[in-house]
Amino acid sequence: LEEVKSSPLKAAPSPFKPTNDDERAMVRKLILDSYNWFVDIVAERRKMSREQALVLADGSIFTGRQGVANGLIDAVGGETVAVDWLATKGVDAKLKVVEWKDTERRSGFLFSKAMAQTIGSALGLPAYSSDVIHELGADRLFLDGLVSVWHP
């Protein structure tokens, strides 16, 4: 694979070559910016200091009970508990609950078959390339990285 690009950091990092120090520094700046943004949102919305949020923001995974104890969530429960909680926030308790189901088969987290086909086509691969991309594990290169936090 030969790269032709307008500047050194375009299309970086690339799955086709090792990253260099400049590329790693660029990606690290993106990650730290997103991390700081998320920590600030947690601190603001969960009514805690930035220092408290930073203690929890070490990448740990928490159970629901730990989330309650750490002030990251309000309660643990199923649909009925969620509907009752939303009612305390002014949401009509009789509002219809709709369970969303993805009808498109996904190859990986936030990586659709259509995306794999598009990438395969751009690389000049045949139509079945999305399956090849998935088998090679290249679908893992396109993770979103951020998870949305929903509030009423």
* Cα–Cα dist 142/59, whole Å: 20
User: Helices 129-136 and 113-122 meet at what angle, rounded to 10?
Assistant: 100
Mean pLDDT score across all residues of the chain: 79
Give me 84's structure tokens. 């009752």
Query: What is the rounded average pLDDT of the residues 5-31?
Result: 90
Q: Is residue 149 part of a domain?
A: no
pLDDT value of residue 146: 46
pLDDT value of residue 142: 47
pLDDT value of residue 48: 97
Q: Is residue 111 part of a domain?
A: yes
Q: Is residue 127 part of a domain?
A: yes
Segment 44-71, tens digit of pLDDT: 999 999 999 999 999 999 999 999 999 9
Q: Is residue 68 part of a domain?
A: no
Proportion of the chain above pLDDT 70, given as a percent: 66
**Higher confidence at residue 140 or residue 42?**
42
Q: Is residue 114 part of a domain?
A: yes
Q: Is residue 65 part of a domain?
A: no
- Class of residue 112 by CB neighbours under 10 A (exposed 0-12, middle 13-18, buried 19+): middle
Element of type H or E holding 108: strand 106-108
Segment 102-149, tens digit of pLDDT: 666 554 544 566 666 666 666 666 665 556 555 655 545 544 444 444
When divided into structural domains, the chain yields a total of 2
Give me 72's structure tokens. 């990251």
Give me 28's structure tokens. 């690290």
Q: Is residue 80 part of a domain?
A: no
pLDDT value of residue 143: 43
* Cα–Cα dist 57/40, whole Å: 11
Which domain covers residue 28, as residue numbers?
20-60
pLDDT value of residue 113: 64
Q: Is residue 33 part of a domain?
A: yes
> How many Cβ atoms from other residues are within 10 Å of residue 48's Cβ?
17
pLDDT value of residue 1: 79
Phi and psi torsions of 140, nearest 5°: -70, -10
From 60, 92, 114, give the residue that closes a domain: 60
3-class state of residue 94 by DSSP: coil
From 43, 60, 77, give the residue that closes a domain: 60
Q: Determine the distance from the C-alpha atom of residue 1 to the mean position of all C-alpha atoms in its chain, rounded to a whole number.
A: 29
